[in-house]
């Protein structure tokens, strides 16, 4: 077990507080250096079954934690990467740094830590029933990012002509093709498809801009809010595909979000139909 660090605050409080912040900065720098230097090399050998350096972490786990698959002790502190992870320590930072102290901790590491600590499962298992249990007390991970009222240009006119003009503009812009194919795209995504992903993200961004410029009658505010919310969240989950190897659990969560977004799209169509019927728009 790693040695504990005790700060004698009352004796040398000022000096040690400074030393603490220096140490934290060093750890952050070490994390960034180790992560950036190892991820690209690991992607080509991504496997949850192979452990090239026999350190207790599979090659895929090495990518997820940011450690190296050709070095048993990435941070050089005499503890193997697998031993550190099993005990809740960060394998890419020498010393007593806990995984939970890492900045911007990925959803996958959070999930694996939960498996280890709450379910006593040391081997990573991305299974539907376990993920559902993990998410049951973490609703924020499934929540959609709602757009603010400031993003919607609401007009003072709420006339039939204004609503007809709004619906015509909405139908002209439309949602980008490919959004409802998220499951298929995410399943088959690889680094070779990064250019295609970039093209789709560009279309999503343009679509968002096009929608945001549409003048919206008050009666259509919920429709407009729905469109912008759907586009923004699809942009988020498609962007995450670039980190599918580093954060596979997030991709599984995003598949659930995609289903919610498709349901939201269906609700928008229903609201449009109700608006057409209410204002008798042909």
In a domain, 116, yes or no: no
pLDDT at residue 12 greater than cutoff 70: no
Verify that 148 and 274 share a domain, yes or no. Answer: yes
Number of separate domains in the chain:
2
Q: Read off the pLDDT of residues 183-232 as tens digits, 9 standing for 90 and up.
A: 788 877 876 667 788 888 998 999 999 999 999 999 999 999 999 999 99
pLDDT-based confidence at residue 248 (cuts at 50, 70, 90): very high
Establish if 62 belongs to a structural domain: yes
Domain co-membership, 265 together with 181: yes
State whether 77 and 161 are in the same domain. no
Selected residue with higher pLDDT from 6 and 84: 84
How far is CA 52 from each of CA 42, 68, 69, 74, 178, rounded to the nearest angstrom? 10, 10, 6, 13, 38
In a domain, 14, yes or no: yes
Query: Do 147 and 272 belong together in one domain?
Result: yes
Confidence of residue 233 (pLDDT cuts 50, 70, 90): very high
Q: Say if 176 falls within a structural domain.
A: yes
* pTM beyond 0.85, yes or no: no
Question: Of the candidates 81, 105, 129, which is a domain's last residue?
Answer: 105
193 plus 267 within the same structural domain: yes
Answer with the one of 105, 132, 162 that is the final residue of a domain.
105
* Structure confidence at residue 44 (pLDDT): 53
Residue 3 has pLDDT above 50, yes or no: no
- Residue 83: inside a domain, yes or no? yes
Query: Is there a domain that residue 179 lies in?
Result: yes
Percent of the chain surpassing pLDDT 90: 65
Domain range for 211 is: 142-278
**Whole-number mean pLDDT of the chain?**
84
**For residue 57, pLDDT beyond 80:** yes
What pLDDT sits at residue 191? Answer: 67
Per-residue pLDDT, averaged over 133-162, amounts to: 92
What is the rounded CA–CA span in Å between residue 151 and residue 225? 8
Q: Which two tokens stand for residue 260?
A: 């919610």
- The closest alpha carbon to 129, from 116, 143, 139, 115, belongs to 115
- Among the residue ranges 25-34, 102-111, 128-137, 161-170, the one predicted with the least confidence is 25-34
User: What is the token pair recorded at 97?
Assistant: 């740094």
Coarse DSSP helix, strand, coil percentages of the chain, rounded to the nearest 5 percent: 65, 0, 35
In the chain, the percentage of residues whose pLDDT exceeds 70 is 83
Average pLDDT of span 150-160: 87
Of the three residues 105, 130, 161, the one that is the final residue of a domain is 105
As a whole number of Å, the CA-based R_g of the chain is 24
Task: Give yes or no: residues 155 and 100 share one domain.
Answer: no
How many CA atoms lie less than 13 Å away from 153 in the CB half-sphere? 8
Quick one: pLDDT at residue 176?
Answer: 75
User: Distance from CA of residue 231 to its chain's centroid?
Assistant: 16
The predicted structure's pLDDT at residue 180:
66
Asked whether residue 262 falls in the same domain as residue 149, the answer is: yes
The pLDDT of residue 212 = 92
What's the average model confidence in pLDDT over 262-267? 93
Cα distance between residue 199 and residue 195, in whole Å: 6
Helix H or strand E encompassing 65: helix 59-65
177/242 same-domain check: yes
User: Which pLDDT value is given to residue 23?
Assistant: 41
Q: Are residues 101 and 146 in the same domain?
A: no
Residue pair 228/208 in contact (Cβ under 8 Å)? The answer is yes
Calculate helix-pair angle for 221-239, 194-212, nearest 10 degrees. 160
Residues 70 and 150 in one domain: no
Q: Are residues 253 and 149 in the same domain?
A: yes
User: What local confidence, expressed as pLDDT, does residue 43 receive?
Assistant: 52
Q: Do 96 and 216 lie in a common domain? A: no
Q: Evaluate whether residue 95 is within a structural domain.
A: yes
Tokens at residue 183, please? 């499951």
Q: Is 256 among the domain residues? A: yes
């Amino acid at each position: 077990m790693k040695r504990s660090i005790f700060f004698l605050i009352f004796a040398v409080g000022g000096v040690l507080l400074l030393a603490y912040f220096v140490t934290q900065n060093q750890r952050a720098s070490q994390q960034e250096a180790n992560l950036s230097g190892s991820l690209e090399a690991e992607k080509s050998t991504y496997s949850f079954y192979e452990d090239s350096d026999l350190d207790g972490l599979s090659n895929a786990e090495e990518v997820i934690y940011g450690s190296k698959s050709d070095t048993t002790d990435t941070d050089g502190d005499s503890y193997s990467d697998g031993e550190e992870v099993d005990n809740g320590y960060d394998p890419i930072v020498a010393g007593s740094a806990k995984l939970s102290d890492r900045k911007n901790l990925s959803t996958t590491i959070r999930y694996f830590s939960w498996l280890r600590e709450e379910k006593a499962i040391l081997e990573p298992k991305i299974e539907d029933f376990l993920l559902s249990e993990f998410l049951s007390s973490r609703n924020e991970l499934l929540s959609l990012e709602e757009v603010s009222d400031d993003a919607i240009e609401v007009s003072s006119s709420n006339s039939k002509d204004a609503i007809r003009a709004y619906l015509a503009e909405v139908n002209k812009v439309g949602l980008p093709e490919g959004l409802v194919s998220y499951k298929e795209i995410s399943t088959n995504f690889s680094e070779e498809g990064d250019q295609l992903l970039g093209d789709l993200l560009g279309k999503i961004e343009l679509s968002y801009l096009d929608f945001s410029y549409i003048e919206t009658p008050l009666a259509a505010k919920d429709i407009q809010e729905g469109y912008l919310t759907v586009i923004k969240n699809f942009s988020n989950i498609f962007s995450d595909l670039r980190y599918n190897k580093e954060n596979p659990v997030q991709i599984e969560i995003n598949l659930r979000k995609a289903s919610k977004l498709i349901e939201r799209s269906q609700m928008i169509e229903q609201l449009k139909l109700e608006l057409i019927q209410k204002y008798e728009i042909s």
